[in-house]
Amino acid sequence: MGGSAVTHGDELLAARRVVVKVGSSSVSGENAGQIPELVASLAQLHAAGAQVILVSSGAIATGVPFLHLEERPDDLATQQAAAAVGQNILVNRYQRALTTHEIIAGQVLLTAHDIENPTHRDNARRAIERLLQLGILPIINENDTVATHEIRFGDNDRLAALVARLVDADRLVLLSDVDALYTAPPAMAGAERISEVAYGDPLAGIEIGESQSGWGTGGAATKVQAARLAADAGATVLLTETRLLAAVLGGSDHGTRFAARPA
């Protein structure tokens, strides 16, 4: 965007409350080294005056190597064990990076039941609001250790959208290993980036794929569904690649922006 046009980064840095979601493949395995750069961007938002909430996947993927397993386990009990180990290590990595910016994290683990149950939902909202008031950066993940196949969110894109609704965020950023939404799968010839999605646009004729990663559970389809869910609640949504967030905050034009429902 040239001239005096407002960039995605300008919008984010002017936000009151931002929910940032990052996928497993962006913060685990060989990409665990991306955590300090991601945290630096969160700290930049924080310093600009935004209240920042991070919704982070990656507990199971982070825990698996410490259980000496070769790949993501299929059975629920081992997934839960991997999550228990991985969540501890993942939050520790975030806190180490946040400490260099003098920010303290607070861990919040939620299940689908917590969002659906009015009492649990109110308790979760109250806890998150209090953390934000105290200057703490909440790090939210699905509580994989107690969640069952039947009651899971299915992916953290949806969880992030529900959190954005829960705390009345004005911005949601969905980060993964895909830089934007395209008119067809990005590897296909002729696929073009969709830079802007108007509120209510059905995206007719757009071929939206599923997850390509061995770790994440959400593909482009889940991100679009999550973006619509948050936009419907009044949040502007940006979908882009984790490693591009710093460039976006610097004014570069990356990703796909979903306009919020008009006030």
Indicate the annotated binding residues for substrate.
57, 144, 156
Cβ distance 63 to 84 under 8 Å?
yes
DSSP-assigned beta bridge partners for residue 54: 20, 139
Name the region of 209 (left: φ>0; alpha: ψ -120 to 50; beta: rest).
beta
Which residues contribute to the annotated binding site for ATP? 21, 176-177
For 62-129, strand residue ranges (E) read: 105-110
| 171, containing H or E segment | strand 171-176
Q: How many CA atoms, within 13 angstroms, populate the side-chain half-sphere of residue 260?
A: 18
CA angle 100, 92, 241 (to 5 degrees): 75
Q: Which residues are annotated as a binding site?
A: 21, 57, 144, 156, 176-177
Kindly state the tokens that stand for 31: 């990409």
The residue with tokens 């260099």 is 100
Rounded Cα–Cα distance for residues 66 and 26 (Å)? 18
